[in-house]
């Protein structure tokens, strides 16, 4: 089997596992159920996965790694502070909209990881929070945002992250539009010189 075929089949297994874990919970989904869903016996299934926990790790860390890469790119782009924050918010909501099952698994079940896997996921999550802190600090340094408590990052990310519970792709707002609505609310509160809102 070529490496490309293996990779495609493995990605299919991971995607189906994410859907099952999101629907039934990590602990509520057995290997036999996963094998049936992907149409593979236990031996063939283990050709693509190391273990059920390894699947949870792949599902969880892939999305956080994706967002870290996006944040790193946004920070390197040299955009104005507010545009940087907006791009980071838009990128996160685009990813959540495209991978709601994976984010549901991450937020509900990543704590089931053990040892180094758990440590690596937590470290990746903390690195992402750090990128948001850097973006806010740039706004302070540029004298467009006022200094804010360190915990504000957790508040902003909580607001954005939990859209996985209710966001409807194809609904009233696109991911970018929803990100802008949230960022407008945040920025209105932390601008050093608030901008007047347009009259109705």
Tokens of 124: 């990746």
Digit-coded pLDDT (tens) for 141-186: 999 999 999 899 999 999 999 999 999 988 999 999 999 999 999 9
Q: What is the mean pLDDT of the chain?
A: 92
Tokens of 162: 């939990």
* 3-state helix vs strand vs coil in the chain, percent to 5: 75, 0, 25
- The three state secondary structure string of 105-165 is HHHHHHHHCCHHHHHHHHHHHHHHHHHHHHHHHHHHHCCCECCCCCCHHHHHHHHHHHHHH
Residue 36 falls within a domain, yes or no?
Answer: yes
Domain assignment of residue 24, given as a range: 1-49
Say yes or no: 23 and 96 in one domain: no
The last residue of one of the domains, among 9, 27, 49, is 49
Cα-based distances in Å from 123 to 75, 106, 116, 117, 200: 19, 14, 10, 10, 45
Query: How much is the pLDDT for 64?
Result: 96
**pTM listed for this prediction:** 0.89
């Amino acid at each position: 089997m070529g490496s490309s075929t293996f990779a495609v089949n493995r990605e299919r297994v991971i995607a189906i596992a994410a859907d099952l874990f999101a629907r039934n919970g990590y602990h509520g989904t057995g290997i036999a159920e996963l094998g049936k869903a992907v149409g593979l016996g236990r031996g063939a299934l283990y050709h693509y996965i190391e273990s059920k926990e390894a699947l949870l790790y792949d599902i969880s860390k892939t999305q956080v790694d994706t967002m870290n890469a996006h944040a790193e790119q946004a920070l390197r782009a040299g955009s104005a502070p507010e545009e940087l924050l907006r791009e980071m918010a838009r990128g996160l909501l685009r990813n959540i909209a495209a991978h709601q099952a994976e984010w549901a698994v991450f937020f509900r079940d990543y704590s089931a990881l053990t040892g180094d896997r758990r440590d690596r996921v937590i470290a990746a999550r903390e690195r992402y929070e750090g990128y948001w802190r850097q973006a806010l600090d740039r706004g302070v340094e540029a004298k467009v945002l006022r200094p804010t408590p360190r915990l504000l990052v957790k508040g902003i990310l909580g607001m954005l992250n939990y859209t996985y519970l209710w966001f409807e792709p194809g609904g009233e707002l696109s991911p970018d539009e929803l990100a802008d609505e949230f960022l407008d609310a945040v920025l209105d509160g932390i601008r050093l010189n608030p901008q007047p809102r347009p009259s109705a």
